[in-house]
């Protein structure tokens, strides 16, 4: 399984971006999917996750109310809608599939490459 992340870019504080993560196979109905991010000099941190059933979402406290994770099964794609962006949201964002030990731990089987989000103040 390969994951392709896209949608990063430069945005001003308060703006919005939508990240996409497209899988090479139809996995969204089988695996939980998550988004993580890593800022320079920091560890990778959990952002959001969506259960394989699509009925449970989990968010990091720092993005609750601003970010929304969703999926479109027909396109094998998971989205991360990011609103009210802050400079501290600047990071490489990674999508992942098949959580092996909890949504918020970076212990997923499959990982996409990062897509850079830069939020200017």
* pLDDT higher than 90, residue 10: yes
| Tokens found for residue 111 | 């990982």
Residue with more model confidence, 52 or 28: 52
The pLDDT score that the predictor gives to residue 60 is 98
Q: Hey, what's the torsion of the CAs at 89, 7, 76, 38, to 10 degrees?
A: -30
Query: Is residue 114 within 8 Å of residue 7, measured between CB atoms?
Result: no
If phi > 0 it is left, if psi is from -120 to 50 it is alpha, else beta; for residue 86 that is: beta
| pLDDT tens digits, one per residue of 61-74 | 999 999 999 999 88
Rounded CA separation 121/36 (Å): 22
Task: Name the band, by pLDDT with cuts 50, 70 and 90, for residue 45.
Answer: very high
């Amino acid at each position: 399984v390969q994951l392709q992340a896209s949608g990063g870019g430069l945005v001003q504080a308060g703006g919005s971006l939508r990240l996409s993560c497209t899988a090479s196979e139809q996995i969204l109905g089988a695996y939980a999917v998550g988004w993580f991010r890593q800022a320079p000099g920091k560890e990778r941190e959990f952002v959001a996750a969506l259960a394989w059933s699509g009925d449970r979402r989990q968010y990091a406290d720092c993005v609750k109310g601003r970010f929304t994770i969703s999926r479109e099964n027909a396109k094998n794609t998971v989205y991360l809608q990011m609103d009210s962006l802050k400079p501290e949201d600047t990071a490489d964002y990674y999508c992942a599939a098949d959580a092996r030990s909890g949504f918020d731990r970076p212990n997923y089987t499959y990982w996409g490459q990062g897509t850079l989000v830069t939020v200017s103040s």
